[in-house]
A and B are shown apart, each in its own frame.
Chain A
Amino acid sequence: MSDYSPSEMMIVAAARALAGVRTVFVGVGLPNVACNLAQRTVAPDLELVYESGVYGARPARLPLSIGDPALVTGALSVCSMADLFGLYLQGGRIEVAFLGGAQIDRFGNLNTTVIGDYARPKVRLPGSGGACEIAIHAKQVFIIMRLSCRSFVERLDFLTSPGHLGGAGERERLGMPGRGPQVVVTDKCVFRFDPASGEMVLVSLHPGVRLEDVRAEMGWEPRVSPDLRETEPPTPEELRLLREELDPLGVYRS
Chain B
Amino acid sequence: MKLTTMHDAIAQYVHDGDTVAIEGFTACIGFAAAHEIIRQGRRDLVLCRMTPDLVYDQMVAAGCARKLVFSYLGNPGVGPLHAIRRAVEKGIPNPLELEEYSHFGMVGRYIAGAYRLPFFPLRSYVGSDLPKVNPRIQFVESPYGDGPVAVVPPLNPDVAIIHAQRADVHGNTQLWGLLGAQKEAAFAARHVIVVVEEIVDEEVIRSDPNRTLIPGLIVDAVVHEPYGAHPSYVQGYYDRDNDFYLRWDEISRDEAATRAWLEEWVYGVRDRAEYVEKMGRETWERLKPAQAWSRPVNYG
A132 interfacial by beta-carbon distance below 8 Å: yes
- Contact present for A124 and B127 (CB under 8 Å): no
- Contact present for B181 and A82 (CB under 8 Å): yes
The answer to whether residues A130 and B73 also contact, given A80-B180, A124-B89, A159-B127 and a CB cut-off of 8 A, is no
Output the least CB separation between B27 and chain A (Å).
6
B191 interfacial by beta-carbon distance below 8 Å: no
B2 interfacial by beta-carbon distance below 8 Å: no
Q: Which residues of A contact B235 (CB under 8 A)?
A: 69, 72
B215 interfacial by beta-carbon distance below 8 Å: no
Residue count of chain B within 8 Å CB distance of chain A: 51
Residue of A51, A73, A85 with most partner-chain B CB within 10 A: A85
The answer to whether residues A158 and B89 also contact, given A53-B180, A127-B100 and a CB cut-off of 8 A, is no
Output the least CB separation between B57 and chain A (Å).
13
- Contact present for A132 and B130 (CB under 8 Å): yes
A165 interfacial by beta-carbon distance below 8 Å: yes
- Contact present for A130 and B77 (CB under 8 Å): no
B271 interfacial by beta-carbon distance below 8 Å: no
User: How far is it, in angstroms, between the C-alpha of A121 and the C-alpha of B111 when the chains are bound?
Assistant: 31
Q: Which residues of A contact B107 (CB under 8 A)?
A: 81-82, 85-86
Output the least CB separation between B94 and chain A (Å).
17
User: How far is it, in angstroms, between the C-alpha of A52 and the C-alpha of B85 when the chains are bound?
Assistant: 25
Of the candidates B70, B103, B242, the one whose C-beta lies within 8 Å of that of A81 is: B103
- Contact present for B102 and A165 (CB under 8 Å): no
Residue count of chain A within 8 Å CB distance of chain B: 52
Please report whether the interface of chain B is mostly helix, strand, loop or mixed according to DSSP. loop
Q: Which residues of A contact B289 (CB under 8 A)?
A: 69
A161 interfacial by beta-carbon distance below 8 Å: yes
Output the least CB separation between A147 and chain B (Å).
21
Binds B, one of A173-181, A206-214, A215-223, A238-246: A173-181
Binds A, one of B37-45, B117-125, B248-256: B117-125
Chain B, range 75-108, C-beta contacts under 8 Å to A: 76-77, 80, 85, 88-89, 100-104, 107
Q: Which residues of B contact A158 (CB under 8 A)?
A: 129
- Contact present for A68 and B127 (CB under 8 Å): no
Of the candidates A29, A78, A79, A121, the one whose C-beta lies within 8 Å of that of B77 is: A29
Output the least CB separation between B88 and chain A (Å).
6
12 extra interface residue pairs, beta carbon distance < 8 Å, beyond A64-B242, A128-B100: A52-B26, A74-B292, A86-B104, A89-B104, A127-B73, A132-B102, A133-B102, A133-B122, A137-B123, A159-B129, A171-B127, A175-B126
Report the 7 A-B pairs with minimum CB-CB distance, sorted nearest first. A67-B26, A162-B127, A126-B74, A129-B72, A133-B124, A128-B102, A130-B103
B residues near A (Cβ < 8 Å) are 25-27, 50-51, 70-74, 76-77, 80, 85, 88-89, 100-104, 107, 110-111, 122-130, 133, 147, 176-181, 183-184, 233, 235, 239-240, 242, 289-290, 292
A residues near B (Cβ < 8 Å) are 28-29, 51-54, 64-69, 72-74, 78-82, 85-86, 89-90, 109, 113, 118, 121, 124-133, 136-137, 158-162, 165, 170-171, 174-177
A-B contact pairs, 20 of them (CB 8 A): A53-B180, A72-B177, A73-B290, A78-B177, A81-B103, A81-B107, A82-B184, A90-B104, A90-B122, A113-B129, A118-B129, A125-B73, A126-B80, A127-B71, A129-B72, A129-B102, A132-B125, A160-B130, A174-B127, A177-B123
